[in-house]
Amino acid sequence: MTDETVRLDATLVSLLGRCLTLRPDAAGDDALRCELERHWDRFLAFCDDLRLSPAVAERIIKRSIAPPGQGPRLAGRIAANLARRRIMAERLSELVLAFNAAGIEPILIKGAISLWTGTPGWRSLRDIDVVVPPPDTQRAQALTMGLGYRIAPAGEVQGARSRHHMPELERDDLPGWIEIHAHAGNYNAEPFLPVSELIRESVPAGEPGRGRVRIPPPYLATLHALIHHHVGHSADRHGKLDLKGLYEFAAAVHDLDRTGRESLVGRASRHPRLVAALDLWTAAAADFYDLAIEPPFTFEPLALARWRTIRERSESGEPLPAYPGYREEIALGFRAIARNRSRGTLGRTVDRARVIGSLLPKLY
């Protein structure tokens, strides 16, 4: 990673949040349409770069705020994403059937869940992630290669350093690649949500012609995605927050019922770093995408301040220290500990050590 951040245009970032708001206000639609028209080509390119253009196109069409004559361009992006998803879903079913025939029932994670369920249709994917825990991981990789897949050029490099998934596999009729995971996340993320918990909590799903898989319940899939972005991709250390991942998180939380929200908050409460991360992402989703905060969700003012610092940092483009997020992550984790009144002095001391220790690289 470099010690600099890529500057995001503040105007385009603002337009993105206003287009994807979860609680649109029709009173501001005319002004938003005019502003979109002024920045249209740049804005579309920006959404393409973030891989959010299918979601943005869907919302703009639904709200009837497309600049004049731009409907076909938006419809084209939606259609292209749906076509890509259909092909990927077919490849996933083929893979699952081959695994099932060999006695393997994979666990789906991240975008693979969306491919299997068909929702949300706006979600764009670069790859298909399935979990096949040891001792079957290497056998699953071999089965996949037996279907004509080959190690992708990137996989030759990634495979040498990855501890959580096998080298990426590609085939000419798959737009993207396949990753066979041994663990739920990399060496930093795995301790927060171990593969053993995914195995235990995932539920069977399947139908004739598609095979049988296991899928984490929505609250756990949401937490896994948060951990993947925030910890697995080192956003915690680098003081960043992925806008695509944030929108997927906001939409997922928006769809949770009361039981799901309680399960998500309860599961996050097992580690102060998860409480802090959920606080941060909830605050960011509420501020940027206008996610409604419903019980038992809440967030600390410090979390909102941290999100706004992250946004200002991304829009400034100024050189940064190598790891500007360490201090912020520790501060938010310690604040989570302070508000947990059920822990005594010794317990809070242990939790502070857990926060600091969890920021150190982990090995399986």
Residues 151-177, mean pLDDT to the nearest whole number: 82
Confidence band of 156 (pLDDT split at 50, 70, 90): low
State how far the alpha carbon of 240 is from the alpha carbons of 237, 243, 246, 311, 324, in Å.
8, 9, 11, 8, 9
Contact present, 57 and 94 (Cβ < 8 Å): no
Write out pLDDT tens, residues 116-145. 999 999 999 999 999 999 999 999 999 999
Residues 340-364, mean pLDDT to the nearest whole number: 85
Residues 232-239, mean pLDDT to the nearest whole number: 93
State how far the alpha carbon of 169 is from the alpha carbons of 2, 107, 138, 236, in Å.
28, 18, 13, 29
What single string gives the DSSP state of each residue in 182-200? SSSS-TTTGGGS-HHHHHH
Confidence band of 363 (pLDDT split at 50, 70, 90): very low
Contact present, 140 and 180 (Cβ < 8 Å): yes
Write out pLDDT tens, residues 283-299. 999 999 999 999 999 99
Sequence spans of domains, the chain: 1-69, 88-185+195-215, 217-364
Write out pLDDT tens, residues 243-278. 999 999 999 999 999 999 999 999 999 999 999 999
Report the mean per-residue pLDDT for the chain: 93
Tell me the angle at which helices 243-255 and 272-289 cross, rounded to the nearest 10 degrees. Answer: 90
Confidence band of 163 (pLDDT split at 50, 70, 90): confident
Instruction: Tell whether the model's pLDDT for residue 74 goes beyond 80.
Output: yes
Task: Give per-residue burial for 201-223: e unless 16+ CB within 10 Å, then b.
Answer: bbeebeeeebbebbbbebbbbbb
- Residue 5 has a pLDDT of 46
Confidence band of 84 (pLDDT split at 50, 70, 90): very high
Distance CA(111)–CA(225), nearest Å, equals 9
- If one compares 16 and 156, the residue with the highest pLDDT of the two is 16
When mean pLDDT is compared across 74-83, 102-111, 152-161, 291-300, the lowest value belongs to: 152-161
Number of neighbours of residue 3 by Cβ within 10 angstroms: 11
Distance CA(185)–CA(227), nearest Å, equals 8
- Residue 158 has a pLDDT of 55
Any residues with CB less than 8 A from the CB of 247 and at least 6 apart, and which? Answer: 20, 52, 55, 289
Contact present, 164 and 182 (Cβ < 8 Å): yes
Separation of first and last alpha carbons in the chain: 23
Number of neighbours of residue 295 by Cβ within 10 angstroms: 9
Write out pLDDT tens, residues 104-117. 999 999 999 999 99
Instruction: Tell whether the model's pLDDT for residue 316 goes beyond 90.
Output: no
- Residue 2 has a pLDDT of 32
Q: Give 103's DSSP letter.
A: T
- Residue 320 has a pLDDT of 67
Any residues with CB less than 8 A from the CB of 286 and at least 6 apart, and which? Answer: 292, 293, 299, 304
In this structure, what token pair is assigned to residue 321?
């220290």
Percent of the chain predicted with pLDDT > 70: 94
The arrangement of secondary structure in 88-185+195-215, i.e. its CATH architecture, is: 2-Layer Sandwich (3.30)
- Residue 160 has a pLDDT of 47
Q: Looking up tokens 């806008």, which residue turns up?
A: 243
What single string gives the DSSP state of each residue in 208-260? TTTEEEEE--HHHHHHHHHHIIIIIT-HHHHT---HHHHHHHHHHHHH--HHH
Q: At 155, which amino acid appears? A: G
Confidence band of 173 (pLDDT split at 50, 70, 90): very high
Distance CA(117)–CA(217), nearest Å, equals 12
- Residue 361 has a pLDDT of 67
Distance CA(364)–CA(339), nearest Å, equals 31
Residues 50-75, mean pLDDT to the nearest whole number: 97
- If one compares 344 and 145, the residue with the highest pLDDT of the two is 145
Distance CA(45)–CA(188), nearest Å, equals 33
